[in-house]
Chains A and B, each alone.
Chain A
Amino acid sequence: MRDDSSPIASGTCASGAVDVDYDEIVERVAYDFGVSRRSFVGLLGAGLLVAASLPAAAQERGRRSRASGARNIGARIHLGVDGTITVLSGKVEGGQGARTELSQAAAEELGVPVSRVQMILCITSAVPDDGGTYGSGTSPRTVPAVRQAAAAVRGLLISYAAKQWQIESASIQVRDGKAMDPDGKRSIAYADLAKSDEGVKLLQTAIPQDVQLIPVKEWKTLGTAVLRPDRRDIVTGAHKFPSDISRPGMLYGKVMRPPAFGARLESVDLAPAKAMKDVVVVGGDQFVGVAASNTAIAEKALEAVAPTAKWVSTTHNISSNLLYDYLQENVRNPLPPNPFASDSKTDSDGKPAAATSLRRTYHVPYIQHAPLEPRVAVAEWNGDKLTVWTATQNPFGVRNELAGAFHLPLENISVAVPDFGAGFGGKHTGECAVEAARLAKEAGKPVSLRWSREEEFTWAYFRPAAVIQVEATLDAGKIATWHFININSGQSAMESPYAITKKKSDYVASIPPLRHGSYRALAATANNFARETFMDELAALAGKDPLEFRLAHLDNSRLRAVLEKAAAEFKWKSRAAEKNAKNSNVGFGLACGTEKGSYVAACAEVALDPKNQKIKVTRVSQAFECGAILNPANLLSQVQGAIIMGLGAVLREETQFEDGQITNASFKKYQVPRFDDVPELDVHLINRPDLSSAGAGETPLIAIAPAVANAVFQATGKSVTALPIRVGGA
C-alpha cells in the first residue's frame, strides 16, 4: 500500500519483520533540500506541506513497517567487564512506560535486580530498529524480543560455568547476576563471561529462537509494580528532555508559517532579517526560517520579514461547520450499499418498518494530541554527518525523512530520542527535525528548534474526523443485520465484536481538509463510540436493558468478562432498577470494546445541568484486560490516564477552523481535562497470566465516550450522535 514514488519511501530499512503497524496513518512533510527539487515543491506553503495540497501518493496508509530488531545478542545486550549490563532498544519513552517494562523484561531473564540494567533507548546509530513506538507494539513484540536475548545471555552464562566447573548445566542456577554451583560455593558473574575470550565470541552470535523463557508463574520482576528508573531525575529537573538538549554554540530557531492551510508563498523580503546582527536567515520557495543566539532575537527577526510575505491560497479552504458535509461529498469511492437491505422488513409503502430497523449517522471532529512538550529538535552537522536529538515515536522514520530531505545516506545520520514529553500518536513524523537540520546547516552551528504551542496546535496533525453511518435490523429482540460505514477516520475496531450472522463493515476514504494522522487508539474511539451508542438505541428499540442486550450478543469470553466485571463493580443492575423513579438529570451508561488484543468495558454516571447545558461525569468504573500484566502500577497509570484523556474528547475537545485557519489553537480556547474533570474513578485490572501480554496504552481509551453518551441518552431519552456531546439548547 505504500507508494514508492514518494521521496521518503526509499532507503527504509531491513527485512525480517518483528513489528507490524496497525493502520497507522502518516502524512509526512515532504521537505526536499537537495539539488534536485521535485516539481511538487512548488505547491508548498512555507514551513509545511499541508494535507490539502499533498499528493495522495505521499500518504502512507496501513503501511506495513518492516523493522529488523536485533539478530545478534550483542546488538541487544552488552555485558561490561566491570559488571555493567546495557540493554539496547529502538523503542522510545514518552511516558507510556517502555523504559520501565523493557528494563524489567531484561532483568527478569538475566536474573538481576532491575536497577542493574542500563536501558539505552533509541539512538538510531546504536540500537536495533524495533519499529516505531506505536500500535501498542512494545508489550507484545519488543518485550518478548528483549526477554529472548536476555534469556540467551543467561543460557551462555550457565553453559560457560558448566564448562568451567565440568558439571551439568541443569544443576546451575542464576541468582543476582551470578551462576551458582549446586553447593552455592562457586559463582561466575556476567562480568566474568564478558572477560573471557569465549564469552566475547558467543555474545556476538545470533539470538537463538528456542531459548527457554522464565515462566510467568516464576516471574520476580515482570508482573511487579516497578517505578520508572529515571524518576529521580524527573522530580529534580535534571532529566534532559529533547527541549533541554544544549550543544556548544547552539542557536535557537524559528520558522515562518503560512497564514492558513494550503497557502503558498509567492514572495518574501528577507533583507530586514539579514540586516540584523548575528541572525542566520534561510529563505527558499518552500522554507523561511531564522536562527539566533536566543529565541527572542529569532522571533524579532521573523517578525521583521513576516509582514513582507505574499501568500496565495491553493486550496478550497473549508470551515469546521461544513466539515462533515465536505467529508461526505469528497469520498474517494461511492459508499457501499447495505448488502442486507432486502432483509429489512418494510411496511406497505416499501419503507423500513420503524419498529425493527434503525439508522444513524455519527460525527467525530478533529481533535488535538496536544502533548505538553511540543515538537522540538536539536540538529548538529559535522561535515556531511548529521546528529539530531528530537521527540518522536518513529526515530528510524525520522532518520529516513532527514535522508530524503538532505539526500544523505542513512549511515550519515543519527537520531537520538531522549525520554520526551508525550506523543499520544502525534509524533510519528520528522518535520521539526528536518527544519532544525536545515537551519543548522545554514548556520554552521547546532540549532534548537522548538515549536510554539500555537504551531503545535496548527501545523502538527490531528486525529482524523469521522462520519459514521450505521444501519441495523432487529428480529425477535436480537440484531438480524448490521451495516457499518466509517468515512475518513479509519478501520481500527470497526468490526463489531457481537455475534451477528449478517454483518458488514466498510471503510471509505475521503479527502481530509486538514492534515491528519495517527492518534492514541486511532479510529477505534470513533468506531466504538458509534457502535456502542447505536447498541443502546437498539436495546431501547428492543425494550432490553443495555447490559442484557449486549450479553445476549456476546460470545467472546474475554469481552464478556470485562463487561460483567465493570457492571458488577458499578452495581449496574441495582442502579438500572432504581433509575426510572429518580432524578432524570442523572444517567447511567455502559460500553465495551476490544482492540489490539486487549479488552475494555466502562460504566459511567453523569449529572446533567440542562440550564447551563453542562455534563458532569461523576463516576466511572472500568475493567481492563490485556493478558499477563507486565507492571500493574504502570498499567493502572495508563488506564486512568486514558479514561480521563478520553473525557476531554467527550465533553469539550474539537478543533475549530475557519477558511483554513485554526481558530482555537491554544490551551485557553481548546480545553483539555484538568483535575476537576476527574470523576470518582475505579479501575479493575484483570490479570490473565495464562495469556500473552498485549499492549495497553490505547485500548483503555475507547469505552469512555460511548459509556458517557449512553448515560446521557438514558437521562435525556435523546440520541447522542456527535462528539463532543452537547445537551439542551442547540
Chain B
Amino acid sequence: MATETTIHFSVNGTAHTVTTDPKRSLLEVLREDLQLTGTKYGCGEGQCRACTVLIDGESANSCLTDVGDVDKREVLTIEGLAHGDKLDPIQEAMMEEGAFQCGYCTAGMIMGLAGVLKKNPRASEAEVMKEMQHHLCRCCSYVKYRSAIRRVLSPNRKDLK
C-alpha cells in the first residue's frame, strides 16, 4: 500500500488536514473523507466534468486530480459557492431557468461556468460555450442550460439579447 502523506488544504475557506494515500483522487477525498458530496462522479476520465471544482480559482476535474497535488492550495466546491443564504448568480440562473432535469451534472456545470468567468469575466458567449462543451448532460437539457448561461452573461453584456 502506498505510503500515507499528510496534506493540508483549504476547502470552501475551511482548513483541512488529511492523512492518506496522496494518489487518491481529490473527488474521492472530498466525498468520502470530508462528506462534501455535492461534487459528483460521472466517468472518472475527465470526459463529463460532473466533478468540476475550482483549485486556486481555476476549474479542474477533481476525478483526475491527485489529492496530493492540492497540498497548500485552495479548493472551492459547489457547497462553497453561495454566500450564506445568498446564492451565486449562476445558481440563481440555473434555478430560475429550470435548466436541469435530473440535476446530477448541475454542480459541475455551475462550477465550470464559475471557472470560465473567474478567468475572464468579459468572456464572449462563444468562449464560454467552448468551455461548456466539455460538460455532459445526459438528460440533454442543453437548450435550457444555454438559456441559463445567457442569463448569467447578459447583465453586463450588450451583444446578447
Residue positions of A touching B, CB distance < 8 A: 94-97, 225, 227-228, 231-232, 234-241, 243-244, 246, 252, 276, 294-297, 300, 370-374, 419-422, 424, 450, 452-453, 633-634, 637-638, 640-645, 648, 666-668, 672-678, 681
Contact = CB atoms under 8 A, between A and B. Distances in A.
A95 B47 contact: no
A236 B28 contact: no
Contacts of B23: 296
A456 B61 CA distance: 20
A453 B70 CA distance: 25
Interface in B1-51: 1, 20-21, 23-25, 28, 31-33, 35-45, 47-48, 50
Contact of A296 (B24, B38, B106, B133): B24
A304 to B, nearest CB: 10
Contacts of B132: 675
Interface string B63-103: 00000000000000111011000010001001100101111
Contact of A236 (B1, B41, B78, B139): B78
Interface centre among B103, B106, B107 (most CB of A within 10 A): B103
Interface stretch (B115-123, B140-148, B153-161): B140-148
B102 A235 contact: no
B141 A300 contact: no
Given A452-B44, A640-B144, 14 more contacts: A97-B101, A231-B100, A236-B78, A237-B36, A240-B37, A300-B1, A372-B102, A372-B104, A453-B42, A637-B141, A668-B47, A672-B138, A674-B136, A678-B142
Nearest to B90: A235
B152 interface: no
Q: For this complex, into which size category does the number of interface residues on chain B fall? A: 35 or more
25 contacts: A95-B103, A234-B106, A235-B106, A236-B81, A236-B82, A237-B107, A238-B38, A239-B103, A240-B37, A243-B41, A244-B37, A276-B1, A294-B24, A421-B102, A422-B138, A450-B41, A638-B101, A640-B141, A640-B143, A645-B138, A667-B45, A675-B133, A676-B133, A677-B142, A681-B143
B86 to A, nearest CB: 11
Contacts of A667: 42-43, 45, 47-48, 136
Contact of B44 (A228, A236, A453): A453
Interface string B111-135: 0000000000000000001001111
Those 7 A-B pairs whose CB atoms lie nearest each other, nearest first: A237-B38, A95-B102, A421-B104, A237-B78, A95-B101, A244-B37, A644-B140
Contacts of B60: none
Contact of A234 (B21, B24, B103): B103
Given A227-B98, A450-B41, A637-B101, A235 B87 contact: yes
B98 A228 contact: yes
A423 to B, nearest CB: 8
B105 interface: yes
Contact of B136 (A238, A240, A296, A372): A372
A420 B79 CA distance: 19
B54 interface: no
Contacts of A642: 140
Contact of A373 (B25, B33, B104, B141): B104
Contact of B102 (A300, A422, A453, A668): A422
Contacts of B48: 372, 667
B137 interface: yes
A666 B43 contact: yes
A645 B103 CA distance: 16
Contact of B32 (A236, A252, A677): A252
B55 interface: no
A673 to B, nearest CB: 6
B87 A236 contact: yes
Interface centre among A97, A276, A644 (most CB of B within 10 A): A644
A674 B98 contact: no
A668 B82 contact: no
Contacts of B25: 296
A476 to B, nearest CB: 43
A225 B142 CA distance: 19
B95 A232 contact: yes
A640 B101 CA distance: 11
Given A241-B104, A244-B37, A674-B133, A95 B139 contact: yes
A240 B28 CA distance: 16
A666 B143 contact: no
A421 B40 CA distance: 10
Given A95-B101, A95-B103, A667-B43, A294 B139 contact: no
Contacts of A641: 101, 139-141
A673 B101 contact: no
Nearest to B140: A644
A671 to B, nearest CB: 9
Contacts of B36: 237
Contact of A243 (B37, B87, B135): B37
A96 B101 CA distance: 6
B102 to A, nearest CB: 3
A235 B111 CA distance: 10
Contacts of B139: 95, 422, 637, 641, 645
Nearest to B145: A675
